[in-house]
Structure 1
Amino acid sequence: MIPAVAAPLVANAEGTQPAAEEKQIPQQIEFVLADGTVVQTSTVNLTTGAHQFSELTLPQGYELVSDGSFTVVSSADIIPVTVRAKEAVEETATVIASVQFIDADGNYAGGGNYFLPAGVQNLSILSQYVPEGYTLAEAGDFYVVAGGSYQAKVVKAASTIIHVTYKSTGGKALGGGDYFVDEDGDGIANYSELQLPEGYNLTETGDFFVDANKDYEITLKKEVEGTIINVTFVDEEGNNLGGGDYFVDLDDDGIANYSELQLPEGYELIQTGDFFVDANNPYTITLHKVQTHEVEQDTATLVVKYVKEGTNEVVGEDEAYTADGVKGEVHTFTVDLKAPKGYELVEDEDSLSLDVEYGQNAEVFVKVKAVEDKNEGKEDEEKTDAKEDSKKEDKGVDTGVAMPLAGIFGTMSVALGGMIALLRRKNRK
């Protein structure tokens, strides 16, 4: 505690002494901080009655917290007075710097050399120098040095400040802020007056009504669809599998899906689903090697043979039809039927379909008949009649019975590995 020191009392503004008939008594004054810490204790001679704190001589470097009053009654009392330390005042150097005021179109609106306080300053210190009819169009700090040159944006005083929030077509927040619009003061602004985030364009253009009390939400689209991210693929042992830059998040909502990435051949994703997109963040994605099984390949073969009706004599054959595939699986052959020269198909069908397994050979037999010669048929008929007449003359009774040949083939039949395969025929169109 600082020892008590008698200090002179300033009785009033004129410095006059109290009247001789007023009785003074020694009064102890205790100067304390807000937390109760005693800074100094003094004893002064004061008359009984009311006094103001401002009458007291304060400890050096301190000031009153409030300009209150106190009452002197007895010298046995201790009067507490709350004080606080004065803030240190730093002397700021003043320098000469050059300032140019630029309008929204980049045109020079005024400026010159001004005395400015050195160091970090707020742009608001330039308000007193802004050209007539303009106001500052930006805020923030700048660093002032002697001989420095600075530019400050200004707008016509008629402009209106509106608050704008930008978002992407996918709903991602893109920032925003306060913007000066409607320089001519007609209550109408154009979207082109707004400063857009880099890499985005307006989805809506033209004019809009200005309302300083309204918050504007404006949707923007990317100049280039998608976000480029860098990806490195590794296997489960950490071996590098390559990678590169990939376009993802085409709807620009800040979220992409792992399925948008092109994976190295023979590998598959371990982690699936969505992830947040950050163009400044390199991605390392672990992949799982796909287990492959060797597949045996083989050939399916189909041979079409044409047989004469009644005798089953092979009178023609198509070149073998072949197809390659996985052994054990089935290939469907579709064949257009063409009868050999001098023959025609027995049935009114000109195509057939047949399933043949890869690794099997199959034959299909198609019945044909000779094309009839009308003259030759007539001669054969006359010869037959003459022969019958001769038999009647010789034997008097017809004992001859025509026995049809029982064919081993149907109109169409198939031999496949000793089994009969079913045909799927196509009707004539």
Structure 2
Amino acid sequence: MGLNTVTLSGLLYTLKRQSTTGMTWRTPGAPLRPGSLYVQAERADTGTMITGTADVDGVISGTGVEGHVNASTGVVTVHFGEWVDGEDWTEASWYDPSLENEAGQVFRPLPVLADTVKYNCVVYSYLPLDADLIGLDPVRLPQDGRVPVFRKGDIAVVHHTDIDVLPNPLTAGHTATLSRGALSWVDLHDKNGLWVPSAGLYTVDLAAGTMAFADPLPDLAAYEQPFQVRHRREDMVLLGDVSINGTISAVAPLTHDYPADESLVSTVLPIGDLQAGTENEFTQATWTSVWSDSRVGSGTTAQFNLVQYPVEVTNKGAIGERWAVIFTGSDAFNIVGETVGIIATGYTSQDMAPVNPATGVPYFFLDHRGWGTGWSSGNVLRFNTRAAHYPVWVVRTTLQGPETEAEDSFTIQIRGDAN
């Protein structure tokens, strides 16, 4: 027999699939939406799928995986494994006693197939803001358009609202003891959430947490019982520190205990001292229908004695308005507001106190003794009233995307102290 000669013409082979116990990578874009990262991988030994998700603080957790993601930069680090009792694995090649935690556990690596590691996340991208559309120079906004809500040195209100249900039916003279005292606010609603005014119905002792109802009760036919009492505890605090992870600290300790899962923290816009007043009083010979803060044309010979009988206003009744008292005869006139229109007709022989329907008290008071003689049709007394309020711009924005909540709302409360 001759010698057999073998010639290798080609070879088909495969490499063992590469495994790993940890990875670090950077997402294609940043910043990420907090809590949006999801990671999965296949275990090299069993083929079982490992999954993990990130919370809003960037901590990745799951069965067989842990790690962290920086939402600002998009850098992700994950380790595949599980915590086990260290004393059971002292002979393992990966064991290191210095890595044991306080419970005596050590992180045991679990190899996964590298080509099965996958992730998904939500990356924010921002379109240039049109200053004409938003009415604000976008250069003043942060790059991502998000404005910090809390800052160090700001005032905030920590508060918790609870609900008590009153007996059904409500009886005259009933005194309701609420579930807690030391309250800052109490409101009454019917079964359907309709607000019930307190006037003539009840009085509240906030410190004791009690409500005393009138005897006899007013007509409550418009409301459906049982009534619900919403009451709130709160602390107004000065913020001493604001952390990037969403933690805020107050300079002084809170005076109440608050349930963490039901309490809220609200921002405060300090306004300062407010007081209603009057300004720009002058007369005008003829009404020109021009609302000017200075006289148009000539004045009148007749005058109103503003020194002895000034225009009187109250914080509750006054609004920010320009007023014109336009004479229709020698002693009769109309009261006209720039925005409210004609609200009253009066005479120089009578006091004038037109009522603000929103508050039930006069817009202002004119004493009839201030009118001099010589008024004629067309003459005008002009003055402005200044309200005890503060102009606030409220803008609510909604991120693009599908609806995530059936309904949403926010509340603005005007509050103040009186000396």
Interval of TM-score (by shorter of Structure 1 and Structure 2): under 0.3
Compute the TM-score of the two structures, normalised by the length of structure 1: 0.17
Name which structure has the greater RCO, CA cutoff 8 Å, separation 6+: 2
More helix by share: 1
- Normalising by structure 2, report the TM-score: 0.17
**Which structure: greater strand fraction?**
1
Question: Larger C-alpha radius of gyration, 1 or 2?
Answer: 1
